[in-house]
Amino acid sequence: MKTDLVFTEFEPVSKEQWRQKAIQDLKGADFEKKLVWKTDDGFPIQPFYTSEDITDFDPAYFSSTKKGWINYVEIKADSDIECNRIAQQMKQFGAQGFLFKFDDPNYHNFETLLNGLDPLSDHISFSTTQPSAVLISDYLVHLNRSYIRAHKLDGFYESDILESWSVNGIKPNFHELANLLKRSKPYPNFRCLVVRSHSFVNAGCTTTQELAFTLHKVSDYIEALLAERLTTTEIIDELVLHMAIGGDYFFEIAKLRALRILLDDILEFYQCKPQSIPIISSGSMWSKTFYDPNVNLLRNTSEAMSAILGGCDALMINPHDATYQQPTDFSRRVSLNIANVLKEESYFDKVADPASGSYYIENLTRSLVSSTLSLFREIEAKGGYITAFKNNIIQSKIKEQREKKEKEIGSRKRVFVGTNKYPETSDEHTVSLEAIRNNTANIDLLPQQRATRIFEEMRNRTINYFKHTGNIPEVYLACFGNLAMRKARSTFASDFFATAGFEILGEYFNRDIIQLANNAANSNADIVVLCSSDDDYANDAVQFAESLRSINENKILVLAGYPETLIDSLKAAGFDEFIHIRSNAVEVLTAMQNKLLV
């Protein structure tokens, strides 16, 4: 049996030939409109890529040779004893790094906090909103007492003062930050300049904006710390990038690869090119949901994979319930086990840069590099990050993208499973939504939110009304006519109203349109939805509406679909609303709440 595969007998196929074949199969439809889509960043994504797209591909330029990553866990608790309990438990479950997050950075007992942990083998790190010389000094004194050799210590101290300023309006103290860098100088692998991208992602930015604004923060940090009499080398040797992970799988892979290229360009400007800048990846608030929170487990898995394939040095998967409550021991363990499975069972740590050479990923990487450089230069021309933020340029650009995304989320064009599509109807919990902060900084701040906040607010309103009154809006699905269309539209309508927490009474079918209208009119439902095909609507929808209105004037009457030629006559007959794939669910359902939740 011949096993050698020989393809020389086949003529090579060019990208243009593939394109012409696709155009032929489209039977006259426009190739660009049908198959090419634009990203939030504005550049086009083709339906396919070939080797012609990477003719000048240089693996050494794009790829990372590092294999493996450190599995971090974030620990926040009311006491050092509780922090230590969680840390020891997570260490047993495979955690390699521990990020202790403190509201109050002062007066921690490191003997208690680090009991059972080894700073030489465990990666010990800290996070505070403002830099604290007390915290770092106490920690380093503890290390000296424990005879820990400086060159063997590994970890970081995260205190992104520009993020605190951008989110909370706290004036950045570069002098205190410079003192931290000077204090940690004898510890070459313990870094104290951590620059985060989470404030941008949680405010709804695009990938290009996240990269450009994060890199501008790096540039402004360097300039500010140079003014504090630190050298460029001293500053960059302390640098760590902590990147938020979003939900766009391929973009997140390309993002980290593009980041290394862009960072090299910036550091080259300062005539300093260190061997490597560590990149930590952790989940964002934006991509998580409150309702049906177990879906966040799946999001965590997808996000972890993209961060690993993108080449992160450390991975911190936040528990699936962390955006709305104190995580439980179970949720912490499950989140860590996602990383453990990817490493121990899926062998993601065995290959360096597996995305290298992928036609799509390489093109995506290049597009992000190009678009980020363009935005970076624009902000640079306006004075850099701090100046642009003071002048509301950063906030305005992110706000524009956030509002665009929220509009698409509201119309369910951008899907969040379990919230704006396929909702879990039995969930009757309410969430304490993020409060508006007291802004004393005289500048607009970046809101930190889940993308699904608009649906959460709407569903909260329904559930709170039910808890106070015992009543909940009820929906009657009146079905007739064409089987396939009535099933499809009743399913659509059920999903549509369930996103607001309304109760679906069920699908009610009747061949007799008058009897169907009578049954709907005499039901306890607040909302009646007529479900069938456009042809059936043309014959019977007006009669249904008139029959129902003759019995009951108060019910909200809705038609599933939008038959354009019939709209005027259907409205005249008594239909209040038409729901379809272009409907903004939040606007429609909020209007109904305003009428029903009195």
Tell me the residue range of the domain where 576 lies: 472-596
Query: Are 96 and 71 contacting, i.e. CB atoms less than 8 angstroms apart?
Result: yes
Q: What is the pLDDT of residues 484-505, one digit of tens each?
A: 999 999 999 999 999 999 999 9
Whether 8 has a pLDDT exceeding 50, the answer reads yes
Q: How far apart are alpha carbons 154 and 142 in whole angstroms?
A: 15
Q: What is the pLDDT of residue 59?
A: 57
**Residue 573 falls within a domain, yes or no?**
yes
Q: Does residue 535 belong to any structural domain of this protein?
A: yes
Residue 5 lies in a domain: no
- 359 part of a folded domain: no
Contact 332, 73 (CB under 8 A): yes
Task: In whole angstroms, give the CA distance from residue 61 to residue 90.
Answer: 37
What was the pLDDT predicted at 67?
76
**Quick one: tokens of 268?**
């080259």
Is residue 556 within a helix (H) or strand (E), and if so which, with residue range? strand 556-560
DSSP string, 310-366: HT-SEEE---TTTTTSPPPHHHHHHHHHHHHIIIIIT-TTSSS-TTTT-HHHHHHHH
Question: Which residues are registered as beta bridge partners of 157?
Answer: 126
Q: How many CB atoms lie within 10 A of CB 29?
A: 11
Q: Tens digit of pLDDT for each residue in 192-219?
A: 999 999 999 999 999 999 999 999 999 9
Structural contact between residues 479 and 532, judged by C-beta atoms closer than 8 angstroms: yes
Selected residue with higher pLDDT from 54 and 206: 206
Please report the pLDDT score of residue 436 as a whole number.
41
Inside any domain, residue 217: no
In a domain, 515, yes or no: yes
Taking the whole predicted model, whether its pTM rises above 0.85 is answered as yes
CATH number at residue 582: 3.40.50.280
Does residue 246 lie within any of the structural domains?
no
How many structural domains compose the chain? 1
Task: Give the mean pLDDT of the chain.
Answer: 91
Decide if 242 is inside a domain.
no
Burial of 273: CB neighbours in 10 Å, binned 0-12, 13-18, 19+: exposed
Please check the confidence at residue 592 and state whether its pLDDT lies above 80: yes
